Amino acid sequence: MSGAYLLVMLFAMVLGGGATLLVKWAFSHYSKVRVASGLTGAQAAHQMLELAGVRGVRIERSDRGHLSDHYDPRGRVIRLSDAVYDRPSVAALGVACHEAGHAIQHARHYAPLVVRNAFVPVANIGSQFSFILILAGLLLGAAQGAGLGVIVAVIGIALFGTVVLFQMINLIPEFDASARAKRVLLETGMVSREEASGVNRVLTAAAMTYLAATIIAIIQLLYWVMVIFGNRR
């Protein structure tokens, strides 16, 4: 394993770890700040859906543990963790309404979300097999020289490229869902202007985890492109 790859992985660990720590800190801090409206996360999400005219979306308690909040488009269900579902905190309302934002996107066939969902099967294949093919190609190239090894490695890079593209597209609905949540919470008075700044910090921290993952994936893709095509010179 080259020193350059170790540096890439070290950077990835620092960037990813920093983003994770930031979102945990923001959520923990603003989970202790009660909203004046007294609404819980589930109630705020319900109100946001009602205001958008979206019907038929259930809001349930998640059994996956801390920060497991998500929207399931197949069952049209928003699942909220214990720290969000029935808590009247700034963090709870921000996270719950972010997930409600995804439900609204789904109901309105928001184009970036449709495109992202279409990429899921290909991206899943890419995440499972890309590195196997890249490493197999490098080993074949080392054993037999250029030719089959390069072809296999390039296929692996192409598959990993679908993962990177998926993550880049995914940023659009994630940022949009947060923007919807911030706007509705403030405009409806579910949070005050002061509380809205806390919502912004929580959702911005969460967005940074997606952005960090995308940056890491792009850097890894560029590294493997340079390794494969650099070896052909």
Query: Which positions are annotated as active-site residues?
Result: 99
In this structure, the chain runs to a length of 233
Q: Six-digit token pair at 186?
A: 């403030």
Query: What are the Cα distances from residue 154, in Å, to 128, 133, 146, 158?
Result: 15, 8, 12, 6
Residue type, 135: L
Q: How far apart are CA 26 and CA 31, in angstroms?
A: 8
Residue 179 contacts residue 185 (beta carbons within 8 Å):
no
Q: How far apart are CA 60 and CA 99, in angstroms?
A: 12
Burial of 16 (0-12, 13-18, 19+ CB in 10 A): middle
